[in-house]
Amino acid sequence: MSLFIIEAAVVGLKEALKLWVVWLVMSAYLKDMGSPRLIRAFHMGIALTIALFAVSFAIASDPYVRTVLSRLTGYTFFVFFISSIAALLESTGTRLFAGLKPKEGIFRPVIALSTVFYFSPDIIGSSMFIRELSEMKGAYAAVYLSGFAGFALPFLLTALTLYKYRGGRTAAIAAIAPYFGTAQFLLFLSMVKLLGGGVKGFAEFSLIPMVQRGVMKFFHDFVHQTFVFLMVPDHPLLATTVWNFIGIFFGPNIAMAASLFILLAPPLLFLLKGATSPRGGTATPQGATGPGEKGAERRKLMASVRADRRKKAVPVVGFIALILIFYFSGGTGEVSRLYNPKPKPVVEDKGVIIIPLTDPTMDLMDGMLHKFSFAAEGKTMNMLIIKKPDGKLAVCLDACEICPPEGYGQREAHVVCIYCMTPIPVETLGRPGGCNPIPLNASITEKDIRVDVAEIIGKWQKVGGAGSVE
């Protein structure tokens, strides 16, 4: 239970930190733009978001909604990422929006709405998550409290320190401002999303796995459709070779490499372009102009242009470093932090699968996750069995209705869907729908568990993602 309290605090803290950090950089960025009205529009957006946040606590947590919100978070990341690329190209001279001159007045509502759009999926998802945590026995008030405490902490700290030293705030903003042009700012926003956008507590810290899986799915669908379209000939030898070839594209390694490429290519391109773009032009050409007014002034100008360009490259380099760090330590590591035992194969006995409660090698009542695999109709169907805190045994398929069946891992009091990283509290197992593992009707005797084979095959139809990855 104390784990839930900590999780709630961490989630609250994470959301508040996002708000706080974006506010700081936004102020630095807008300071150069000079318009106080834009800053006010931003504050209004924040106020709206916090209002939505408060309201969202009244909405019951629903796995479908959470999945949708999680997708929305992913989409906002991509929106800001793409616009940052557009801004990057713009800033290095590629004229994309030549001729587009938006009216001044349109910026304020755009900023307010974008702010809401940016923050609310995360915040609502997180509030739902906290609410779900709080529904655990006896943890109600404590969880909510710690969630709010985590949320309030950065603001309290800021109020105590920066505002006490007023100069501190302006100095901080002035120091940050030269590093963030429009492109850097948008990239920063998308990075904050990417690295802190998960709405599922501990199990999902960053969105990088989501990006990876999005790419994987995209490749899968694209390549599959292409080959179907091309109507691969029926020759058995050719078919096997072709399917093996396709298998390469489905492999996780290509998808991981592709997702890393997608994330890194634009910032790297920006750095490259920035390094080679023509020198800041002034009246006099480069070269032997001799000492004199023109010489020294020209050098000063060039030096300041260079310094500015170097400053603007710093956030980009930082993001690249962060992506790499998270990618190679967090992204795939999360899955390995889950306890995922290898399924033991079981066979049927007159249409029933019988699994003893204890045998020399295992004890189903030990509170750990147990998995069993059953082969039927050319597919491998996995089941999971785990003892719930109330003493009853949960018997389910190792798959849910929404995601491709990559199975579940266990983390303390949750089982986590490995595909979408949604944590399901063990206590709630047996409920159907959403990302819950599909429950099975099983008869539990003193010695064993009995499940009808027909039940397994029947329920497996419900598994998401068409039941198998080819």
- Contacts with another protein, residue ranges (CB under 8 A): 287-293, 295-297, 299-300, 302-304, 306, 360
Encoded tokens for 280: 């800041």
8 A C-beta contact, residue 112 and residue 44: yes
Q: How far apart are CA 2 and CA 136, in angstroms?
A: 11
- Minimum CB separation from another protein for residue 279, in Å? 11
Encoded tokens for 353: 């699968």
| Residue number, 221 or 297, with CB nearest to another protein | 297
- Minimum CB separation from another protein for residue 273, in Å? 16
Termini Cα distance of the chain: 40
- Minimum CB separation from another protein for residue 353, in Å? 27
| Residue number, 10 or 302, with CB nearest to another protein | 302
Q: How far apart are CA 335 and CA 180, in angstroms?
A: 35
| Residue number, 35 or 304, with CB nearest to another protein | 304
| Residue number, 162 or 305, with CB nearest to another protein | 305
3-class DSSP state for residue 372?
Answer: strand
| Residue number, 104 or 297, with CB nearest to another protein | 297
- Minimum CB separation from another protein for residue 298, in Å? 9
Q: How far apart are CA 434 and CA 65, in angstroms?
A: 9
- Minimum CB separation from another protein for residue 307, in Å? 9
- Minimum CB separation from another protein for residue 275, in Å? 9
* Tokens 């199990």, residue located: 203
| Residue number, 37 or 294, with CB nearest to another protein | 294
* Tokens 């890393």, residue located: 260
Q: 464 - beta bridge partners?
A: none
| Residue number, 47 or 296, with CB nearest to another protein | 296
Taking alpha carbons only, the member of 222, 221, 244, 243 closest to residue 232 is: 243
Taking alpha carbons only, the member of 372, 435, 427 closest to residue 394 is: 427
3-class DSSP state for residue 348?
Answer: strand
- Minimum CB separation from another protein for residue 317, in Å? 16
Taking alpha carbons only, the member of 65, 334, 326, 89 closest to residue 192 is: 326
Q: How far apart are CA 100 and CA 318, in angstroms?
A: 31
